[in-house]
Chain A
Amino acid sequence: MKHATRRTVGAALTSLTGLAALLIVAMLALILLDVLRGGAGHVTWEFLSQPPSDGMMRGGIFPALYGTAALTLLMTLAVMPVGVLTAVYLHEYAPPDSRLARWVRVAVVNLAGVPSIVFGLFGLGFFIHFVGGGMDRAMGYQTMHWAQPSILWASLTLAVLTLPVVIVSTEEALRAVPLDHRTASLALGATQSQTLMRVVLPGALPGILTGAVLAVSRGAGEVAPILFTGAAYFLPDLPTSLNSQFMHLGYHTYVLATQSPDIEATRPLLYATVLVLLMLTFALNLVAVIIRTRTRRRSANAH
């Protein structure tokens, strides 16, 4: 090939792939702009602090905000200890070429790929009917007390769903703690668990927090798993106990978008709800990115 042709082909390939990258960025910008344009004017303090009224044609989203927050809080409480300890096992305790560790990794990879709706089925079959039903029988309730959709079962379902996120990011965080720190601690006579508690985990804390934030952002946005494990269409009261149902931002969006009798009338509410949900997840992701780049820079400086 002649030199000129080669240059042309190169330029064409570069601009073509660049165009693809640009298109991806453009799609994100388009979504953001549309949601901002449609919702920005309607996100007021009243919208955030009032319950929906007039059959969801007016009012705000306070119960959905509250429900989403409570749900993700419970989920985080459930997933963090398990996820962090699993990662600690994989990176600190598992013998090299351990078979168990390999199986755990395979399970984590596959868990990350299971469709979210299947998690919903799992929550229904396992948590609600098996565990909840078992608890009702054990406690002798005549009516269904635990064997029904509730915030507890929904958050545990989400905890299983976000487990891979926590494990993977915690392992990455553990990897970033220099080996020297561990050897130094052990050389001073500390035991392995003392090293873990006083040296390794504190060193990995920012990365572990990143994992928690990512899990929260993922869990807060998932709707499919909570469709039949606890989310409710409309509730006059906030959830007060572990076995009550709850309203949820994502589910609220789904309901407003697909089941509204008058879509033109609910459009502003819908856009405002989406804007809140989007800002929430973006803010969480941004926090994760900031923590991560900070720790990367710090560990890069340490070497």
Chain B
Amino acid sequence: MQQSLAETVVVPQLSPTARRRQLREKAIAGIITVMAFTGIAALVLIIVFVAKEALALFTDAHAREEASFSKMFLPQVARQGRPPTFTWQPVSSIPKVSMIPLFIGTLKTTLVSMLVAVPLGVAGALFAAEFAPRRLREFLKPIIELLAGIPSVVLGFFALMVLATFLQDTFGFTYRLNAVVAGLGLALAIVPVIFTVAEDALTAVPRSYREASLALGATPWETAWKVVLPAAAPGILAACVLGFGRAIGETMIILMASGNAAIVSPSLGDSVRSLSATIAAEMGEVVVGSPHYSLLFFIGVELFIFTFVLNMVASSWTKKVLKRLTGGAS
């Protein structure tokens, strides 16, 4: 927009100073445009270099034997005469590299955190956008921002030191650190995400919708529940998807509060090991270039792909809500 303005104003002149000036402008615009590629380049480099280190799983014979796809995803007989199991034990005389316990662990913590964070975040956003007096709302938003600003290592610390003891005393868990503790810690991290995105979607609903509904005799809650919430639904779903993606990728909280035991079980009271925490815990001691090292990068690729897909879905839904509302109203 500004460029078209500049073009109409700067009439081409032939004096050497003017030409030099034009040349300089072009150079500056060029440099700025090149800089804009950095974001794209970063994203491409991330996937390329994480995938590159994982590539050995497919090309290197030793790695292919030690960590083949069947060993990663199918049950394996660890010892002769025992039933086949899913075991993650990459450092051992016979490495066992099943990813199933890690998937289960990630899903368990994510499930707990979503069960807590979605109702809290969405309800809180509905309150802030529809029911709260303006003063309260102005107070609520910075508070949530503050919660979003807490480093995850502090949330992990809080879950480890305070939540874990409290929950064990209250519910009598066998293991002090488990999926519930980690999931609740995780919920603290994703509530602000869900709240912020959902609140944005709700406030994007034009005032005319509300006024029309109220004019027809609906009460404020009927308006909120039957008009505003459905109108903002894709945005709220996007908020949940974003929260889900954050929960899958979050590392420090789970690393500190989950117990880090790769167990296959349905119980939420057992310790779990997540994909992200596995990378964090094992990358420090691994031999560079070994199958185990490639395996950890392979987990990184999985995490990248999961979150990439979730992000694309969420952003397309957010766009949908904006398009629907602005397109419909004006």
Contact = CB atoms under 8 A, between A and B. Distances in A.
Interface of A: 6-7, 9-10, 13-14, 16-21, 23-25, 27-28, 31, 34-35, 81-82, 85-86, 88-90, 92-96, 100-101, 103-104, 106-122, 124-126, 129-130, 160, 163-164, 167, 182-183, 186-187, 189, 191-193, 217-218, 220-224, 227-228, 250-251, 253-254, 257-258, 267, 270, 274, 277-278, 281-282, 284-285, 289
A124 to B, nearest CB: 7
Given A28-B147, A85-B32, A118 B153 contact: no
A282 B150 CA distance: 8
A115 B249 contact: yes
B152 A100 contact: no
A167 to B, nearest CB: 7
Contact of A104 (B29, B39, B276, B284): B39
Contacts of A23: 120, 124
Contacts of A93: 2-3, 29, 32-33
Interface string B284-315: 10001000000011001001100110111001
A107 B147 contact: no
B303 A257 contact: no
B151 A250 contact: yes
Given A93-B33, A281-B150, A113 B45 contact: no
B156 interface: yes
A13 B221 contact: yes
A107 B49 contact: no
Contacts of B155: 31
A79 to B, nearest CB: 10
Chain A interface main SS type: helix
Contacts of A100: 33, 36-37
Interface stretch (B59-67, B92-100, B125-133, B320-328): B125-133
Contact of B249 (A16, A117, A125, A192): A117
Interface string B268-295: 0000000010011001100010000000
18 contacts: A14-B221, A21-B124, A24-B147, A28-B143, A92-B32, A106-B315, A113-B311, A114-B46, A115-B248, A116-B249, A122-B46, A125-B297, A163-B39, A183-B5, A254-B256, A277-B153, A281-B150, A282-B149
A126 B49 contact: yes
Contact of A118 (B33, B123, B249): B249
Contacts of A94: 36
B218 to A, nearest CB: 9
B215 interface: no
Nearest to A31: B158
Given A114-B304, A227-B284, A192 B151 contact: no
Nearest to B127: A17
A106 B188 CA distance: 27
A227 B49 contact: no
Q: Is the interface of B mostly helix, strand, loop or mixed?
A: helix
A140 B132 CA distance: 65
A27 to B, nearest CB: 6
A122 B50 contact: yes
B220 interface: yes
Contacts of A118: 46, 50, 249, 300, 303-304, 307
B21 interface: yes
B221 A278 contact: no
Interface string B1-19: 1110110011000000000
Contacts of B255: 254, 258
Nearest to B29: A93
Contact of A13 (B153, B156, B225, B308): B225
Given A31-B150, A186-B9, A250-B151, A115 B33 contact: no
Contacts of A6: 219, 222
Contacts of B216: none
A252 B136 CA distance: 37
Given A24-B191, A113-B310, A34 B124 contact: no
Nearest to B315: A109
A117 B279 contact: yes
Interface string B32-46: 110111111011011
